[in-house]
């Protein structure tokens, strides 16, 4: 690949029951900011448009990962799982494919009772295969949230998403950003504005910083991976097997 061909895709995933709300607007603007870095294409998906069942806790994903590890060895990372690795046949298959194809992921959810809403958590639970197969390990990510109040759960929501992204093996490259959808974050509605979140200039600025950081890091990660491949040092690195060097 020539340097001119370097480009990345950032996938934005919004998890809230509300379509066209503040959270979706926040993510749309974040994807625009990411595109402004250049060589970046984006896609936004809303979890409400997909049929996503709860994780059944069957652990079939884990068993399949372990079975493949037995065949190929513990030092092969990511574990070469082919395709969709979940016993539940629903729209998560489409979303897993999009995640695997992306170079960066932005998760966006509102604060619901001091943390993330059920839609986002259900989606996260259904990503357990990635925790064990590390197929997302060369991707970058950051979380975004919108709340009524400045200080009523935004940090918890950001942490819940950031830690989940880390657990899935992604590289979280920013604290992310929180914004408020009420006047000064005091819970007072802003009338006559479709997307009140845009009045929160601090939140909008933090969001732009987080999104551009994700875009830049995705480009750097991809460039680095290409350089490593060229140098022939990517085949077997960082495995979980025993240290056998002399
Ligand atoms: C069930 C529910 C619980 C909420 N809990 C909180 C909360 O704990 N803290 C907060 O600041 N805002 C809370 N909110 C407000 C939302 O975070 C806020 O309205 C946000 O803008 C929603 O995003 P949306 O406009 O995309 O729907 C809650 C809203 C709902 C519907």
Placement of tokens 């140098």 in the chain: 231
Instruction: Pick the atom of ligand 1 nearest to 182's CA.
Output: 21
Please name which of 118, 99, 97, 100 lies closest in space to residue 109, comparing C-alpha atoms. 118
| Higher pLDDT pick, 232 / 181 | 181
DSSP secondary-structure letter at 183?
B
Pocket of ligand 1 (CB under 6 A): 16, 18, 21-23, 110-114, 146-149, 152-153, 181
Output the pTM of the full model: 0.94
For the record, the structure tokens of 17 come out as 């029951």
The pLDDT of residue 28 is above 50? yes
Q: What is the pLDDT of residues 148-179, one digit of tens each?
A: 999 999 999 999 999 999 999 999 999 999 99
| Domain 6-231 listed as CATH 3.40.50.360 | yes
Q: What is the pLDDT of residues 53-96, one digit of tens each?
A: 999 999 999 999 999 999 999 989 999 999 999 999 999 999 99
Peptide bond into 78 cis (omega under 30): yes
Please name which of 237, 229, 240, 216 lies closest in space to residue 7, comparing C-alpha atoms. 216
Q: Whose CA is nearest to atom 30 of ligand 1?
A: 112
* Residue among 107, 109, 110 to mutate when testing ligand 1 (max atoms within 8 A of CB): 110
């Amino acid at each position: 690949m020539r340097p001119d061909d370097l480009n990345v895709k950032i996938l934005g995933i919004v998890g809230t029951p509300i379509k066209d709300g503040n959270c979706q607007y926040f993510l749309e603007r974040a994807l625009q900011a990411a595109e402004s870095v250049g060589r970046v294409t984006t896609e936004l998906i809303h979890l409400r448009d997909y049929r996503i069942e709860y994780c059944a806790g069957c652990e079939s994903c884990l068993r399949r990962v372990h079975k493949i590890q037995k065949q190929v060895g513990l030092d092969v990372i990511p574990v070469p799982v082919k395709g969709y690795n979940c016993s539940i046949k629903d729209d998560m298959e489409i979303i897993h494919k999009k995640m695997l194809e992306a170079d960066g992921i932005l998760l966006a959810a509102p604060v619901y009772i001091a943390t993330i809403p059920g839609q986002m958590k259900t989606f996260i639970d259904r990503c357990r295969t990635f925790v064990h197969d590390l197929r997302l390990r060369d991707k970058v990510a950051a979380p975004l949230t919108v709340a009524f109040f400045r200080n009523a759960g935004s940090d918890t929501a950001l942490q819940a998403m950031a830690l989940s992204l880390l657990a899935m093996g992604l590289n979280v490259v920013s604290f992310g950003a929180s914004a408020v959808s009420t006047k000064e974050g005091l819970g007072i509605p802003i009338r006559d504005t479709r997307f009140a979140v845009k009045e929160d200039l601090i939140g909008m600025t933090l969001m732009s910083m987080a999104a551009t950081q994700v875009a830049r890091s995705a480009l750097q990660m991809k460039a680095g991976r290409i350089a490593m491949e060229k140098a022939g040092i990517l085949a077997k690195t960082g495995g979980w097997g025993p240290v056998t060097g002399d």
